[in-house]
Structure 1
């Protein structure tokens, strides 16, 4: 049975992460180094079936920030694509249409539905793609993505408004992004996230929707060994046989129970 959560009020606001958690984001380097050290062990994750995966970066980041993640997924047997739009400066004019065009092109060239992995703001984009073209999307995995809560529940909202030229409060986009997508959906988050209030990344209950908690930073989520393993496991789920993530015997140490906040 998928983990269930109490409903989150759509107008609820959360306190952004403390300045101490923000300062602790420097541990991302250690998390990436740990993944490299554990690279042989990470090969024990399930292999994929070769379907296409698009990986979307976070705010101010580009495809370089997801290179380790994409290399790992390619190693697991997936047809992996970056987003190809340079730095992610928010939903400027044409950005969302180019993502939709890419989704359609990858779908047509691969001959099947596409999984979308989005880190932070990239995960918000992933949910938007699923809302607009669900018939093209196989599954979604988001990493520390603020798809619920208020517009200022992160430590990045000022940067978002500055580089995108748009207000953080966007009711129309929120209407598309906040509801659980109609495809298998996994939200991976960390309570020690120093950028996004972790409650903004908690998914609502559903027959094919789940949350996976890890212990780590926001900036390091895309290179965290526990995230990489969970991501490979999630993408390996068959189209018609999706099952929730099993935390295993080491769950409390590596994948804490995400429901304990209730």
Structure 2
């Protein structure tokens, strides 16, 4: 999964003050669940996991070894993990996912279901879900240089989108992304 551009981004992250928590507000201890993209696993999120813990969040990996399952099958395990983390922490959690549009839609749907205690849509209706306005705060971080996903698929009029320089695989180790994530997480959480 690592490409030369991602290695360059990782190298830049290691040298950047943001990696040591400088220039981002300290975390408030809220739980954050990290979800890897298609054909990836939790191992791709470990650097972000460590960083979030260092700046003051309770970061959790998804339990996904390799995301190759049908989306609904994977989402059922993700739903269980969300419930487990929320039960353990007794707090609303924030989801951060990498790549795979269907995956992101399912995460938003899962967050919507948990926020309102009901299923919003029948299983497998991803196209319909893509048209729904999220009822939880959602932000898209994308790169026009993405060689895996067309960046236009990350753009919607109802969801804030933030462009960074980088590669598809490198977004999980990109210093600019870390700065954005740090600022986004510093916003006050919505009341339960």
Same fold, TM-score > 0.5, yes or no:
yes
Counterpart CA distance in 2 for 1:93 and 1:189 is 24
1:98 counterpart SS class: helix
Counterpart CA distance in 2 for 1:119 and 1:240 is 23
Counterpart CA distance in 2 for 1:87 and 1:194 is 21
Q: Would the aligned equivalents of 1:83 and 1:99 in 2 still touch at CA under 8 Å?
A: yes
- The aligned residue for residue 176 of structure 2 is 226
Q: Unaligned 5+ residue runs, structure 1?
A: 1-24, 138-169, 242-262
Counterpart CA distance in 2 for 1:55 and 1:66 is 7
TM alignment of 1:92-107, pairs within 5 A: 94-107=73-86
Number of matched pairs: 181
Counterpart CA distance in 2 for 1:93 and 1:27 is 31
Q: 1:174 to 1:217 in 2, by over 3 A?
A: same
Which is greater in Rg?
Answer: 1
Normalised by the length of structure 2, the TM-score is 0.85
4+ residue runs over 3 A deviation: 39-42
- The aligned residue for residue 143 of structure 2 is 190
Q: Unaligned 5+ residue runs, structure 2?
A: 116-122
2:139 counterpart SS class: strand
Counterpart CA distance in 1 for 2:111 and 2:171 is 26
1:33 counterpart SS class: helix
Q: 1:203 to 1:93 in 2, by over 3 A?
A: closer
- The aligned residue for residue 179 of structure 1 is 132
- The aligned residue for residue 155 of structure 1 is none
Counterpart CA distance in 2 for 1:190 and 1:220 is 10
TM-aligned CA deviation for residue 229 of structure 1 = 0.9
Matched, 1:66 2:45: yes
The root-mean-square deviation of aligned C-alpha atoms, in Å, is: 2.2
Normalised by the length of structure 1, the TM-score is 0.63
1:203 counterpart SS class: coil
